[in-house]
């Protein structure tokens, strides 16, 4: 599995400030998964308690389910030592594309870390790919 972090056109071609800590966490906890970060990209940070995961591109449809599980695990780790008042919104954007089949899918989530945990548990990849 490979996770490719993309620059976000909404933030003028920057990447999320969370890209670096996420890549380091992945290297420690899941060294078998490659995380590619664009070199020289500027970073954006909202300076509040929100956690905006970087925009990512996934090459295999099954990797979306795995990516969501990894992000939920990552968020559980980084929010475990925060006060209730310090836990804000979580935002995730993931792109899946299969150029051979002409398929493009986008997954977007915005909510609390707890809501993300529930979403990951209920997520049905087959249903998502049919839409």
Per-residue pLDDT, 62: 59
Q: Give CA–CA dist 4/6, Å, rounded.
A: 6
**For residue 19, which of 29, 6, 32, 10 has the smallest C-alpha distance?**
6
pLDDT < 50 positions in the chain:
none
Q: How many CB atoms lie within 10 A of CB 97?
A: 15
How far out from the chain centre does Cα 46 lie?
17
Q: Give CA–CA dist 54/6, Å, rounded.
A: 7
Per-residue pLDDT, 30: 92
Per-residue pLDDT, 77: 85
Per-residue pLDDT, 16: 86
How far out from the chain centre does Cα 110 lie?
11
Q: How many CB atoms lie within 10 A of CB 87?
A: 16
| Cα-trace Rg, the chain | 14
Q: What is the pLDDT of residues 71-103, one digit of tens each?
A: 888 888 877 776 666 667 888 888 887 777 777
Per-residue pLDDT, 28: 94
Per-residue pLDDT, 131: 65
């Amino acid at each position: 599995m490979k996770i490719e972090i993309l620059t976000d056109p909404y933030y003028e071609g920057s990447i999320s400030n969370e890209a670096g800590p996420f890549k380091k966490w992945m290297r420690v906890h899941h060294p078998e998964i490659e995380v590619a970060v664009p070199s020289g990209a500027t970073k954006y940070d909202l300076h509040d308690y929100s956690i905006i995961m970087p925009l990512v591109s996934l090459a295999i449809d099954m990797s979306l389910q795995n990516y969501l599980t990894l992000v939920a695990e990552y968020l559980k780790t980084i929010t475990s030592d925060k006060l209730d008042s310090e836990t804000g919104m979580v935002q995730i954007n993931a792109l899946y594309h299969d150029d051979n089949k002409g398929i493009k899918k986008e997954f977007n989530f915005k909510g609390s870390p707890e809501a993300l945990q529930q979403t990951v548990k209920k997520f049905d990849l087959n249903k998502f790919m049919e839409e």
